């Protein structure tokens, strides 16, 4: 799957500018992901593609439209050195897989990358190298395993 490479501190205004988020329609949101920051993204992204970014991905607003747009655009996972905390929770809550990996600088834009969602093993097929993601904290893994917060709350008997 193609890697789409981004830098540090990619904020939610770059992912989904406020002027475009007066909707909850997932299809519409999928079309506006990075609309001004990287206009070719939503046009060319293919189902299963991966976002690879630096530190503090998703900083800024709490708008859940940002991970929703990324997921709706077809992205299968986001790989970054670190995530801003609200974006991190939002992505986990809506079932967009995230992986934290210190070595993402070794991946280039356009590389073909495969992630084993079970083990966190990242294979860059273009460079024939293998990287490893840090495992998520146990409590968060449980939410991921249930496919997001709503199912987690149900399965744990909170609702």
Partner 1 sequence: MGLTITEKILANASRKSEVASGDVVIADVDIVMAHDSTAPLAVEGLYKIGKKVFDPDKIVIVFDHFFPPPSVDAARLHQKVRNFVTEQKIPNFFTDGVCHQILVEKFVSPGNVIVGADSHTCTEGAVGAFSTGLGSTDIAGAMATGKCWFKIPESLKFNLSGSPEKGVYAKDVILNIIGQVGADGALYKAAEFTGDYVKNASVSSRLTLCNMAVEMGAKNGIIEADEKTRNFLGREGKIFESDKDAVYEDEYEIQVETIGPQVACPPTVDNVKPVTSVEGEKIDQAYIGTCTNGRSEDIEIATKILKGKRIAENVRLLVIPASTKIYLDTFGKGYLQEIIKSGGIICNPGCGPCVGRHEGVLAEGETCISTQNRNFSGRMGHPKAEIYLASPATVAASALAGEIVDPRGYV
Q: Binding residues for partner 1, per CB under 8 A?
A: 9, 11, 13-14, 17-19, 21-24, 36-37, 55-56, 59-65, 67-68, 82, 84-87, 89-90, 93-94, 137, 139, 148-150, 153-154, 158-159
d(CA 96, CA 108): 22
Least separation in angstroms between residue 57's CB and partner 1 is 10
Residue with Cβ nearer partner 1 (34 or 99): 34
Least separation in angstroms between residue 116's CB and partner 1 is 26
Residue with Cβ nearer partner 1 (5 or 63): 63
Residue with Cβ nearer partner 1 (5 or 65): 65
49, 53, 112, 101: which is closest to 77 by C-alpha? 49
d(CA 84, CA 118): 23
Classify 99 as helix, strand or coil.
Answer: strand
Least separation in angstroms between residue 128's CB and partner 1 is 32
Inter-axis angle of helices 65-72 and 85-94, to 10 degrees? Answer: 50
108, 101, 100: which is closest to 127 by C-alpha? 108
Least separation in angstroms between residue 26's CB and partner 1 is 10
Least separation in angstroms between residue 31's CB and partner 1 is 15
d(CA 39, CA 159): 41
- The pair of structure tokens assigned to 11 is 């904020």
């Amino acid at each position: 799957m193609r890697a789409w490479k981004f830098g540090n501190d990619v904020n939610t205004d770059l992912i989904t500018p406020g002027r475009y988020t007066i909707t909850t329609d997932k299809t519409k949101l999928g079309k506006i992901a990075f609309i001004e920051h990287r206009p070719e993204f939503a046009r060319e992204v293919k189902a299963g593609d991966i976002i690879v970014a630096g530190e503090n991905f998703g900083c800024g607003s709490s708008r859940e439209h940002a991970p929703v747009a990324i997921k709706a655009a077809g992205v299968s996972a986001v790989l970054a050195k670190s995530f801003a905390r609200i974006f991190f929770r939002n992505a986990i809550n809506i079932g967009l897989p995230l992986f934290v990996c210190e070595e993402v600088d070794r991946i280039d834009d356009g590389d073909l990358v495969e992630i084993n969602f079970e083990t966190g093993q990242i294979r860059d097929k273009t460079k024939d190298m293998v990287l490893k993601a840090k495992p998520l904290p146990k409590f968060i893994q449980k939410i991921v395993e249930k496919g997001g917060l709503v199912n987690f709350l149900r399965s744990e008997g909170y609702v």
